[in-house]
Amino acid sequence: VGGVTPKKGGTEHLGLPVFNSVAEAKAETKANASVIYVPPPFAAAAIMEAMEAELDLVVCITEGIPQHDMINADIFTPQVRVKAALNQQSKTRLIGPNCPGIIKPGECKIGIMPGYIHKPGRVGIVSRSGTLTYEAVRPFIGYLLSHLDICVDQSLSSIYVPEDTSSHACFLDLLLEKTWGVFQTTAVGLGQSTCVGIGGDPFNGTNFVDCVTKFLADPQTEGIILIGEIGGTAEEDAAALIKSISLSKIIVSLNFDPLPWLKANIRESGTEKPIVAFIAGLTAPPGRRMGHAGAIVSGGKGTAQDKIKTLREAGVTVVESPAKIGVAMHESGGVYAACMPMLLLSVVGLNCNGAE
Amino acid sequence: MRGLMNKLVSRSLYVAGKWQQQQLRRLNIHEYQEEPKNKMRGLMNKLVSRSLSVAGKWQQQQLRRLNIHEYQGADLMNKYGINVPKGVAVSSIDEVKEAVKSAFPNENELVVKSQILAGGRGLGTFQNGFKGGVHIVKADQVEDIAGKMLGQILFTKQTGPQGKVVSKVYLCEKLSLVNEMYFAITLDRKTAGPLIIACSKGGTSIEDLAEKYPDMIIKVPVDVFKGITDEDAARVVDGFAPKVADRNDSIEQVKKLYKLFCERDCTLLEINPLAETSSNQLVAADAKLNFDDNAAFRQKEIFALRDPSQEDPREVAAAKADLNYIGLDGEIGCMVNGAGLAMATMDIIKLHGGTPANFLDVGGNASEGQVVEAFKILTSDDKVKAILVNIFGGIMKCDVIASGIVNAAKQVGVLWSDFSVYIGEQVALKVPVVVRLEGTNVDQGKRILKESGMTLITAEDLDAAAEKAVKAASK
């Protein structure tokens, strides 16, 4: 689809057809996903239109949608009740609004993130911030670069060095081409399985809980990174989920000797996959909206300190700097013996209710 | 293909971005009424902030969105038929005389309140030495007291050391309040809908009450498909349980408050106390209204009420340039693209022992002109000892940032090689600038900076950049 713009149906854009409505586009092309760049006054209505056309995935990039539009804007635009409508159906998933989009490196990108900094891999990333995510993705490259000496010595007889070595990404591309096998066997492979930007708004379509659930079930994802910020309880909800999953996994293992199984499978997070997080806004003053509509500490709630504490209690490794995320992820591949006694104790005293 | 995709994306974002740049307003509204006694003033401040923690629990939303004066908030509620104490805003002694004569001919006492956008008025002090920004006075003293306030600078705990100018004074009827209840409407993230909160006990202990007797807090979510029903409103009224006011009248007042909340894009509407007067009337004695910045494009009337004389001049300048800027009081000025990254940059500066001077998100669509303005604001801040530019460009292009920095330096003057540059009236500011560029067009950006001849400190990653900035600021 070249685009959907009322009254421009029948024209072409980038060699692809433009349609008047989402329903038309879907009927003609069988498109099942949409990305929305519509300006704020009309963006919520655009989301509703995509939902009514029953697309599988809608990604809304737009920043600045009035909060009432996401809740109920019947006064301003007939029938616009995005959240309520979303909750009443299960066909369409909304990502955003006010997000950079979603990318599966090497396969598909719906959004505005720079593709070249991503590499296919085994870490799932979910984030409320766009550029902060790039920062977290980038250290993987830096970390890989720091391993270069070893890999190069072992496998290459000659190295191509571009004139401008300040461009790390392209240097890495070249190096990866030549040493891909080496990197894989050194098990660095810290690329991304899927990277989801859930956006900075308080009312959005997809949250940490949704993504963590999917990452835990995704065989390609072996580690999860959460990038949060002040405001709301999305991080705390994720922590609660992570905690509850840990407990149910332990119950499942009771019909055989749990210790070896725990040793083999339980990472610090208590789930099978290590989870690392960074929460922005420790220094944000209370009561001020820090850019994102959802990033505000109000009435003492939604502070970065609370989120960090809650996540740590659930077994998530929370780092102080986005530069440390890659390192923490790599290092958390092992088992933390200190956690095991705690986990076993929880099993003994636990009242099993509804465990699978 | 990448070039084409980049163009497509950046053009689409220009459209989205035009609107993105709109909502840089912050507007807040005052508490509505308070006992002018000093102690009460302090308590009221506590109660307002605490009540917001009650409201905040169900909807962690903005305390500062749209800042409008107390009298403007009262006027707005009055327009919706919500009972508010009678009041007149005046800006001169003549107006005071007129108001007392025509609006309050029969009053023995009136409440005289300075209108500033900060709390702590009751305990504040004026530049001329007069104490207390809120007074209950006899009708014949109103002129004298108002005269001591008008045009003066009032210093309170919340105004900061520079204080705030009192352009208007609000004269209100003095009410004897029989019963104080609590009422609020918020947008709840959990239910993803409007939530009405009521409690039969308002006043200063609302937060303690919420902890000890959570059952006294009645929460009524509104079904957005039905809107507020009579049943909903009745449940709310039974929740705050007025003693003497008429039940049906109260139900109507609740519906009117809800209407205001929806029609004006409020993110929070809090009435504490919602009171009953000795004449059996329900009255909104103290109100806090927050409006959604994102709705500025369709709430022009509300956002026109903004009073820039009450705001941080740096923030006023930033808003004019459509920059997302929050002034703090540290030493390292920040320019970053992306709100999350901007917050993280501030955090990492702190981690390295420095203090951020501001939050600034130039966004993905900043033009060179905006970058220049941003740089000017940062360099005009006396406290700033070093500037950190941290750009990870996705949509934002590094060459645009670089050109902006170079042009700003030409206009403002930074240390240029070994010479201090004097431009116009502006003295050269020897503020070291640390630049970290990454992402789209990074090579062009770095080249522009190199060729400018500017003395800049460069860094490859955020940690190094923050470290260098802190070091530079401490010299």
Q: Is B341 a member of any domain?
A: yes
Of A333-337, B12-16, B274-278, the poorest mean pLDDT is in A333-337
Give B160-177 pLDDT, tens digit per residue: 788 899 999 999 999 888
The pair of three-digit structure tokens given for residue B459, joined into one six-digit string: 């860094």
Same domain? B266 vs B282: yes
**Looking at chain B, which residue has its C-alpha nearest residue A280?**
B344
**Residues of B with Cβ-Cβ distance to A318 under 8 angstroms:** none
Shared domain for B279 and B152, answered yes or no, is: no
Strand order, beta sheet including B153-155 = B125-126, B153-155, B164-165
Residues B326 and B286 in one domain: no
Count how many domains chain B has.
3
How far are the Cα atoms of A46, A52, A270 from residue A79, in angstroms, in the given order?
12, 11, 44
Q: What are phi and psi of B375, to 5 degrees?
A: -65, -40
> For residues B439 and A203, what is the distance between their CA atoms, to the nearest angstrom?
29
Average the pLDDT over each of A137-146, A316-325, B296-305, B415-424 and give the range with the smallest value: B415-424
Query: Is the pLDDT assigned to residue B375 strictly greater than 90?
Result: no
Mean pLDDT, chain A, rounded, equals: 75
Chain A environment of B23 (Cβ under 8 Å) = 64
Q: Per DSSP, which regions of chain A are E strands?
A: 3-4, 12-13, 16-19, 33-36, 57-60, 93-95, 101-104, 108-111, 120-127, 192-197, 223-229, 275-280, 317-318
Percent of chain B with pLDDT over 70: 80
Residue A9 in tokens: 């149906």
The reported pTM is: 0.78
Please report residues of B whose CB lies closer than 8 A to that of A128. Answer: 340
CATH number, domain A98-137+179-355, options 3.40.50.261, 3.40.50.300, 3.30.460.80, 3.40.50.620: 3.40.50.261
d(CA B48, CA B206): 9
B252 and B131 within one domain: no
Torsion of CA B190, B195, B201, B206, to 10 degrees: 40
Write the burial class of residue B162 (CB in 10 Å: 0-12 exposed, 13-18 middle, 19+ buried). exposed
Is the same domain home to B181 and B135?
A: no
Same domain, B273 and B340: no
Q: Which residue has the higher pLDDT, A244 or A212?
A: A212
**Closest to B395 (Cα-Cα) out of A38, A63, A114, A60:** A114
pLDDT reported for residue A267: 56
Closest by Cβ to B225, choosing from A14, A41, A81 = A81
Give the residue, B247 or A223, on which the prediction is more confident.
B247
Residues that constitute the known binding site of B for ATP: 113, 120-122, 180
**Contact between A280 and A304 (Cβ < 8 Å):** yes
Task: Say how far apart CA B343 and CA A229 lie, in whole Å.
Answer: 8
Per CB-CB distance under 8 Å, the chain A contacts of B356 are: 283
Q: Which of B28-37, B128-137, B385-394 has the lowest mean pLDDT?
A: B28-37
Token digits of residue B120: 């702590």
Mean local confidence (pLDDT), B59-68: 44
- Mean per-residue pLDDT, A43-68: 95
CATH number (domain holding residue B255): 3.30.470.20
Residue A56 pLDDT exceeds 70: yes
- Which run of H or E residues covers position A236? helix A234-252
CB contact under 8 A, A292 and B340: yes
- Catalytic site positions of A: 292
Question: Stretch A224-244: mean pLDDT, rounded?
Answer: 91
Q: Is B270 a catalytic residue?
A: yes
Provide the domain limits for residue B442: 312-474
pLDDT for B11 = 58
Q: What is the ipTM of this complex?
A: 0.77
Question: What pLDDT shows up at residue B3?
Answer: 63
The answer to whether the CB atoms of B293 and A295 lie below 8 A apart is no
Per-residue confidence (pLDDT) for residue B9, from 0 to 100: 52
Please judge whether B394 and A295 are an interchain contact, meaning their C-beta atoms are less than 8 angstroms apart.
Answer: no
Q: Indicate whether B218 and B118 sit together in one domain.
A: no
Contact B224 A68 (CB under 8 A): no
Domain identity same for B181 and B169: no
Determine the pLDDT at residue B268.
87
Average pLDDT of chain B to the nearest whole number: 81
Phi–psi pair at A306, nearest 5 degrees: -60, -45
Indicate if B217 and B140 belong to the same structural domain.
no
Residue from the list A63, A113, A293 with its beta carbon closest to the beta carbon of B394: A113
**A158 has pLDDT over 50:** no
Note the pLDDT of residue B277: 87
Per-residue pLDDT reduced to its tens digit, A291-312: 887 877 776 778 999 999 999 9
Per residue in B222-267, pLDDT (tens digit) is 998 889 999 999 999 999 899 999 999 999 999 999 999 999 999 8
Tokens 């103290």 appear where?
B286
User: Which entry of B31, B34, B270, B467 is annotated as an active-site residue?
Assistant: B270
**Interface with chain A: mutation pick from B13, B67, B195, B347, highest number of A CBs within 10 Å:** B347
Within a domain: residue B413? yes
Tell me chain A's radius of gyration from C-alpha atoms.
Answer: 22
Instruction: Give residue B409's pLDDT.
Output: 77
Half-sphere exposure of A296 (CA within 13 A, CB side): 25
Q: Which residue has the higher pLDDT, B274 or A134?
A: B274
| Residue contact A14–B298, C-beta within 8 A | no
Q: What value does the mean pLDDT take over residues B87-110? A: 92
pLDDT at A12 over 60: yes
Distance between B160 CA and the closest CA of chain A, angstroms = 15
Instruction: Yes or no: say if A199 and A99 are a contact pair by the CB < 8 Å rule.
Output: yes
Domains in chain A: boundaries: 98-137+179-355, 138-178
Q: Is B311 assigned a catalytic role? A: no
Same domain, B458 and B404: yes
Of residues B74 and A338, more confidence is placed in B74
Cβ atoms < 10 Å from Cβ of B97: 14
Of residues A137 and A113, the one with the higher pLDDT is A113
| pLDDT tens-digit series, residues B320-362 | 888 889 999 899 999 999 899 999 999 999 999 999 999 999 8
Give yes or no for residue A206 having a pLDDT over 60: yes
Indicate whether B7 belongs to any domain.
no
Q: Which chain B residues are Cβ-neighbours of A284 within 8 angstroms?
A: 343, 346, 359
